[in-house]
Amino acid sequence: MITLGIETSCDETALALIRDGKLLHDVISSQTDIHSLFGGVVPEIASREHYRLIGRLFADLLKKTDLSIAMIDTVAVSRGPGLLGSLLVGLGFAKGLAAASNARLVGVNHLHAHLLAAGLEQQLRFPAVGLLVSGGHTHIYHILSANDFRLLGRTLDDAAGEAFDKVAKMLNMPYPGGHLIDRIGRMAMPDVKLFTKPYVDNDNLDFSFSGLKTAASLHIQRNPHLRFSSPAEAARRCAVAEEETTSLQELAVLCASFNHTVAQTLRIKMQRALERLMTQEQGRPVSLVVAGGVAANSMVREAMTGLAEHFDVEAVLPSLSLCTDNGAMVAYAGEQLARLGLRHLPDLEAIPRGQAIPDDMVRDEGACPAICGK
């Protein structure tokens, strides 16, 4: 089975082709440089860039894989959550391709695709407990299969990735700056008393990072010398950060402390989830899956790996290239659904952030789990 994955949920235009779970090739165009001028993603600009780029990227992908449209069995596309205008560009393109090639159309939950992405590199074992931690979401799931995700906890305000990027902006770092906080933070030991772990004195699995973001803001206001003079200066100095360990030491402590606080907050909630799920007779996790942009953070990866070892479950962390938005994860998730005989009809709708994604797939008559072809 050959599956095309289309990802346009935010500001990356990404497409990939996979054959039977193996990546053939992927292409991606990031809009980071454009949106960094505004300190964040501008939805109207994002959708126009997707529209401008998606056709030529698809043509490039076919050329590099030496495939034709007629050879595609399944067209998988991120249908949400995301920016509505951006989603509509990808969805319209996917519907056109599916109609032209008589391929199966599969709308993919963007969040679930992140958590399945590691399946491109290793076999996923279910049941699993999954942590999705990105710029827009911080969710905990009980994952029973590639098509059975049960939400256990979610962010009540700022997601972890959003908090990283906003603190980076306060420090005058270029957007998105979360990875720069991680890089500089690796140069120092955290001050574990600098920040309080947010929203952990409860018994639920939800998150709230707005208070931590405010605490970091107040610390920066009291220490304005920590700010870079401009994003350009921040980019220049961060590029050679290891050579400026002395001049960046105080900033490194701040970044390390922020990294530590986020990572330990995630660890506490995930430990709580694992403790509860381990008491169940059915659905006991055998793996811990971490996904999303913040899954690339070094302290988060270290904390989750240690937690998996403590509970004697497999730690599943995708490579750094699969943590951010990409077409390969959409293609892989779509292929898993197609192999279950599931598809969408041409009236498939885009679902923006904040709205529940409906269970509106239909099953092919006579389909079996190993379904192939069109």
**Residue 128's CATH number:** 3.30.420.40
- Claim to verify: residue 14 and residue 135 sit in the same structural domain: no
- Residue 134 known to bind ligand: yes
- Residue 133 known to bind ligand: yes
This prediction's pTM: 0.92
- Residue 172 known to bind ligand: no
- Residue 82 known to bind ligand: no
Residue 372 located in a structural domain:
no
- Residue 114 known to bind ligand: yes
- Over residues 65-109, the pLDDT tens digits come to 999 999 999 999 999 999 999 999 999 999 999 999 999 999 999
Burial class (CB in 10 A: 0-12, 13-18, 19+), 43: middle
Block residue for tokens 């990283």: 164
- Residue 135 known to bind ligand: yes
- Residue 298 known to bind ligand: no
- Claim to verify: residue 217 and residue 165 sit in the same structural domain: yes
Average pLDDT over residues 239-261: 87
Alpha carbon separation from 114 to 215, 237, 259 (Å, rounded): 30, 32, 22
- Residue 92 known to bind ligand: no
Mean pLDDT computed over every residue of the chain: 93
Alpha-carbon dihedral 16, 361, 78, 308, rounded to 10 degrees: -80
The confidence band for 53, taking pLDDT boundaries of 50, 70 and 90, is very high
- Claim to verify: residue 143 and residue 291 sit in the same structural domain: yes
Residue 374 located in a structural domain:
no
For the chain, percent of residues with pLDDT exceeding 90: 84
- Residue 262 known to bind ligand: no
- Number of folded domains in the chain? 2
Residue 39 confidence (pLDDT): 78
- Claim to verify: residue 108 and residue 137 sit in the same structural domain: no
- Residue 90 known to bind ligand: no
- Claim to verify: residue 114 and residue 238 sit in the same structural domain: no
Residue 220 confidence (pLDDT): 97
Residue 369 confidence (pLDDT): 46
Residue 91 confidence (pLDDT): 98
Range(s) of the domain holding residue 222:
123-317
Residue 371 confidence (pLDDT): 43
Written as one letter, the residue type at 270 is M
- Residue 326 known to bind ligand: no
- Residue 297 known to bind ligand: yes
